[in-house]
Amino acid sequence: MFKITNKERLAKDITKIVVEAPLIAKKAKAGQFVVVINDDKGERIPLTMADWDRQRGIITLILQDVGFTTHKLAAREIGNCIAHILGPLGHATEIKKLGQVICIGGGVGIAEILPVAGAFKQAGNDVVSIIGARNKELLILEEEMRAVCNELYITTDDGSYGRKGFVTELLKEILDGKTDKRANRQTHLIYAVGPIVMMRAVSDLTRPFRIKTIVSLNTIMVDATGMCGSCRCSVGDQAKFACVDGPDFDGHLVNFQELGKRVNQFKAQEQIIRDTL
Amino acid sequence: MRQKVRQQLPKQRIKNFNEVSQGLSEEQAIAEAKRCLQCKQPKCIDGCPIGIDIPAFISFILQGRRREALWKIKEKNNLPAICGRVCPQEDQCEKLCLLNKKNVPINIGALERYAADCELDKSSVVSPRLAGECLMRKSEVRDSKVAIAGSGPAGLTTAADLAKIGYSVLLFESLHIAGGVLSYGIPEFRLPKVIVHKELEYIESLGVRLDTDVLIGRTLTLSDLFAQGVQAIFLAVGAGLPQFLAIPGENLGCVYSANEFLTRINLMKAYRFPEYATPINIGSRVAVIGGGNVAFDCARVAIRLGRQTQLVYRRTEKEMPARREEIENAKSEGLPFRLLTQPIKILSDKDGFVCGLECIKMELGAPDDSGRRRPVPVQNSNFVLDVDTVIVAVGQKPNPLLAKVTPNLKINPNGTIWVDENLMTSISGVFAGGDIITGADTVISAMGAGKKAAVEIDRYVRKLL
Ligand SMILES: Cc1cc2nc3c(=O)[nH]c(=O)nc-3n(C[C@H](O)[C@H](O)[C@H](O)COP(=O)(O)OP(=O)(O)OC[C@H]3O[C@@H](n4cnc5c(N)ncnc54)[C@H](O)[C@@H]3O)c2cc1C
Ligand SMILES: Cc1cc2nc3c(=O)[nH]c(=O)nc-3n(C[C@H](O)[C@H](O)[C@H](O)COP(=O)(O)OP(=O)(O)OC[C@H]3O[C@@H](n4cnc5c(N)ncnc54)[C@H](O)[C@@H]3O)c2cc1C
Ligand code: FES
């Protein structure tokens, strides 16, 4: 059993929970995820580890309430136990000293880039991050991000905070050398996590610049150990299992259109069970 | 007369997930046991991969001593209620039974199940004799720890055998429920989960410590285990990697690997959605591709979910690798076979869901490596099956994950873990067995490997003492 030791609402619909999971905490690396089963009738859902503390044996999960299971999890209280957590899963993000790395997070994706940005910084990179949300109320982890980045840019779709617009618009300015601080600086890697449309837009934008762009794919998963193929996706001309071959992939090779369709496979069922809440 | 097991009627059973076979009644079991010739040199035992003393347990049944019959079986087999239900007896013990010459072999599987089921509503125990033996051997190895990765039949067997001789056994399973294919693969109507649960309880009662939600290689590595004082490790991680056909359209919505389909249904109980939260999206017309046990399990699940279902297989019925009994059961449940048919493309509707399966007709050519005649396509024979759901059940390969994250673990070109004749891998003290060394095989052969591994591990650890 995995006890919830802390819980905090970060924004409307976004909740942080801290859970006792000593074995997982000991092995966790940036970019890896866990599978969580809320209760004995629950489904298995993947969640990225936003943080962990090896000494205290805890991991932090940040989840957006988008449906039945995330809603149930967000409703759990401190002291409650989560039935099952398996991890750490997937390959850790490849962290190297490269030079300048731009990390881009959209919505709850900010929680997923936080540890990666931190790891790149620690490896001696110059880390620039762009984080975006629909509006000010939905923006999370600004302080935490600022602490691990050399520079942090913020966008909101409605302009209620930071720059008005999408993360890609700001990224384009940086790549075009329009932001004064970044003029003539080469970008060595881009790491983007967020909604599929965002990851796709980032990848399309960076392709002509030939900057390596890594995205973390949020496919639908069941076992998350490579046994079912629910998470399959097309990368280049290859079929990949996101849970064991990923979740990080080269954004320039990912078939986002197919991915977009695959995450909608259970729309009708998701609605049915949401109505039981 | 060979006794036939009682069954739920097809009309009735296609509407539920309850077990199809109801086993033998007492009179039937005794009548069947009476037919056994009690051969001086019984051939049936040679056909059993773990060498159960078949005539001996049958003679106990004949004397009405059902429990002793079970103890006899349990001397060799830790999971009799399971084997009695899912072993391909027709290729093993029953094939070598003298009475098979007249096509009426003893129904050994049904008798094994009959013996095993006497404990169904009681707690399982080892026979007094075995318990005595275990106690005697306990002292020397009591402080020795062995870790096992994977709780399918191979891992469970090794765990039980080592625990019986006194080892402290740590059994790790990555899923949240133990049992391997027995839990996530084989459906309820063929192997009720209470039976698997019961057998797991028995294994835990022997002192085995079972930890689910631990992925060996990730949550704990082999080095972690050795660092914790484990003296030997057994890898029994199975052949769970689903194979696809590599045809266009395979990533459409409503295309499932057999493993995904069965895992959602059996392990996650999607057939009871939304009481259980895991969904499954199945249209009204299902095609299952394949001809093995796995394909039949998928098809019969789909039938029970009320879907119009057909089986698409590229060879003929004779070449089907599934258990005979299940082929017959499926037929009586009304499953149509599309034989000599090879899918070549899955057609998509505008939203990215299946709207048809394009196939080509096949004919049988010369025999291939497996001795079965190789199917070859008939030119210009393409046609489209009107289906909206496709389940791909064309085989599983060894699980690659552990090998990928474990340096120095030697892998064969076909993905199986390399082992020497004592089942030791390229890493000293690390053994492997079951589907991970053979590729997808059977429950009983995985158990056979588990038994051998227990002997080899015991020998290895004693040398270290
Ligand atoms: C590797 C990985 C890491 C993830 N990390 C996080 C995380 O840190 N925080 C977080 O909030 N979410 C994360 N997700 C997404 C999260 O798993 C899904 O939001 C969750 O499974 C939805 O379950 P539900 O029952 O609440 O909603 P459902 O009702 O099942 O789904 C609601 C909506 O979410 C979509 N959806 C369903 N499953 C997924 C999925 N796996 N990925 C994306 N969209 C999905 C559906 O299409 C639907 O529109 C991650 C996914 C993956 C694969
Ligand atoms: C649908 C289906 C129907 C079948 N029907 C029959 C039948 O009727 N008769 C028959 O004889 N055989 C049948 N088989 C085949 C039989 O089930 C297998 O040959 C047998 O289960 C193999 O046993 P195993 O112990 O090697 O592996 P498995 O049963 O596959 O168990 C391996 C276990 O290891 C776990 N695991 C994997 N990696 C790790 C890791 N790194 N750490 C921890 N745990 C891990 C897996 O989750 C799994 O639970 C069927 C198979 C399927 C899929
Ligand atoms: S989630 Fe099952 S294989 Fe990836």
A145-181 confidence digits (pLDDT tens): 999 999 999 999 999 999 999 999 999 999 988 766 6
Residues A114 and A248 reside in one and the same domain: yes
Q: How many domains does chain A have?
A: 2
Would you say residue A270 lies in a domain? no
Last residue of one domain, picked from the residues A54, A89, A124? A89
Ligand 3, atom 2, residue with closest C-alpha = A228
pLDDT at B301 over 80: yes
Would you say residue A157 lies in a domain? yes
Chain-chain contact of B213 with A265 (C-beta, under 8 angstroms): no
Asked if B299 and B311 count as a contact pair (C-beta separation under 8 A), the reply is: yes
| C-alpha of residue A245 to centroid of ligand 1, in Å | 18
Nearest-atom index, ligand 1, CA of A216:
1
pLDDT at A183 over 80: no
pLDDT at B135 over 60: no
Q: Which domain range does residue A43 map to?
A: 2-89
Question: Tokens 């999607």 — which residue?
Answer: B270
Nearest-atom index, ligand 3, CA of B263:
2
Chain-chain contact of B263 with A223 (C-beta, under 8 angstroms): yes
pLDDT at B399 over 90: no
Residues A84 and A121 reside in one and the same domain: no
| C-alpha of residue A243 to centroid of ligand 1, in Å | 13
Q: Is the CB of A235 under 6 A from ligand 3?
A: no
Would you say residue A38 lies in a domain? yes
pLDDT at A30 over 70: yes
Report pLDDT for B433. Answer: 97
CATH number at residue A227: 3.40.50.80
Name residues whose C-beta falls within 8 Å of residue B452's C-beta, 6 or more positions apart in sequence.
B423, B433
Rounded CA separation B17/B187 (Å): 8
Would you say residue A274 lies in a domain? no
Rounded CA separation B376/B373 (Å): 9
pLDDT at B313 over 70: yes
Residues A248 and A194 reside in one and the same domain: yes
Report pLDDT for B116. Answer: 93
Rounded CA separation B354/B388 (Å): 5
Nearest-atom index, ligand 1, CA of A111:
8
Q: Would you place residue B126 in the very low, low, confident or very high pLDDT band (cuts 50, 70, 90)?
A: low
pLDDT at B215 over 80: yes
Chain-chain contact of A44 with B276 (C-beta, under 8 angstroms): no
In B142-257, which residue ranges form alpha helices assigned H by DSSP?
153-164, 181-184, 193-205, 222-227
| C-alpha of residue B176 to centroid of ligand 2, in Å | 15
Chain-chain contact of A226 with B257 (C-beta, under 8 angstroms): no
Residues A17 and A67 reside in one and the same domain: yes
Interval B337-377: pLDDT, tens: 999 999 999 999 999 999 999 999 999 998 888 888 889 99
| C-alpha of residue B217 to centroid of ligand 1, in Å | 25
Would you say residue A158 lies in a domain? yes
Among candidates A38, A229, A244 on the partner chain, residue whose Cβ is nearest the Cβ of B257: A229
As given in the structure block, the two tokens for residue B239 are 């052949």
Q: Is the CB of A204 under 6 A from ligand 3?
A: no
Q: Is the CB of A239 under 6 A from ligand 3?
A: no
Residues A39 and A135 reside in one and the same domain: no
Rounded CA separation B94/B309 (Å): 32
In B305-398, which residue ranges form alpha helices assigned H by DSSP?
324-332
Q: Is the CB of A62 under 6 A from ligand 1?
A: yes
Report pLDDT for B105. Answer: 96
Residues A135 and A237 reside in one and the same domain: yes
Report pLDDT for B360. Answer: 97
Chain-chain contact of A262 with B251 (C-beta, under 8 angstroms): yes
In a mutational test of the pocket of ligand 3, which residue from A37, A222, A240, A262 has the highest number of ligand atoms less than 8 Å from its CB?
A222
Using left for φ > 0, alpha for ψ between -120 and 50, and beta otherwise, residue B361 falls in beta
Report pLDDT for B261. Answer: 98
Report pLDDT for B136. Answer: 56
Asked if B233 and B146 count as a contact pair (C-beta separation under 8 A), the reply is: yes
Asked if A226 and A243 count as a contact pair (C-beta separation under 8 A), the reply is: yes
Name residues whose C-beta falls within 8 Å of residue A125's C-beta, 6 or more positions apart in sequence.
A97, A98, A99, A100, A101, A188
Ligand nearest to the CA of residue A273, numbered in listed order:
1
In a mutational test of the pocket of ligand 2, which residue from B266, B293, B328 has the highest number of ligand atoms less than 8 Å from its CB?
B293
Report pLDDT for B368. Answer: 85
Chain A residues in contact with B403 (beta carbon < 8 A): none
Residues A24 and A117 reside in one and the same domain: no
Asked if A87 and A33 count as a contact pair (C-beta separation under 8 A), the reply is: yes
pLDDT at B123 over 80: no
Residues A76 and A185 reside in one and the same domain: no
Using left for φ > 0, alpha for ψ between -120 and 50, and beta otherwise, residue B53 falls in beta
Last residue of one domain, picked from the residues A69, A89, A109? A89
Chain-chain contact of A227 with B253 (C-beta, under 8 angstroms): no
Interval B54-87: pLDDT, tens: 999 999 999 999 999 999 998 889 889 999 999 9
Chain-chain contact of B352 with A262 (C-beta, under 8 angstroms): yes
Report pLDDT for B354. Answer: 97
Q: Would you place residue A245 in the very low, low, confident or very high pLDDT band (cuts 50, 70, 90)?
A: very high
Residues A134 and A66 reside in one and the same domain: no
Asked if A52 and A106 count as a contact pair (C-beta separation under 8 A), the reply is: no
Ligand 2, atom 13, residue with closest C-alpha = B442
Residues A71 and A153 reside in one and the same domain: no
Give the B-side interface with A, CB within 8 Å: 174-176, 184, 212-215, 218-220, 240-242, 244, 246, 250-254, 256-257, 259-260, 263-264, 268-269, 273-281, 351-353, 399-401, 404
Residues A111 and A29 reside in one and the same domain: no
Work out the mean pLDDT of chain B and round it to a whole number: 93
Rounded CA separation B246/B244 (Å): 6
Report pLDDT for A32. Answer: 98
Chain A residues in contact with B252 (beta carbon < 8 A): 261
Would you say residue A269 lies in a domain? no
Would you say residue A258 lies in a domain? yes
Chain-chain contact of B241 with A226 (C-beta, under 8 angstroms): yes
Min Cα separation B281/chain A (Å) = 6
Would you say residue A165 lies in a domain? yes
Report pLDDT for B308. Answer: 97
Among candidates B175, B244, B274 on the partner chain, residue whose Cβ is nearest the Cβ of A272: B274
Last residue of one domain, picked from the residues A61, A89, A117? A89
SS3 content of chain A, % helix, strand, coil (to 5): 30, 35, 40
Report pLDDT for B78. Answer: 85
Please tell me whether the peptide bond between A247 and the residue prior to it is cis, using omega within 30 degrees of 0: yes
Residues A7 and A106 reside in one and the same domain: no
> Over the Cα atoms of chain B, what is R_g?
23
Point out which residues pair with A60 in neighbouring strands: A18, A51
CATH number at residue A6: 2.40.30.10
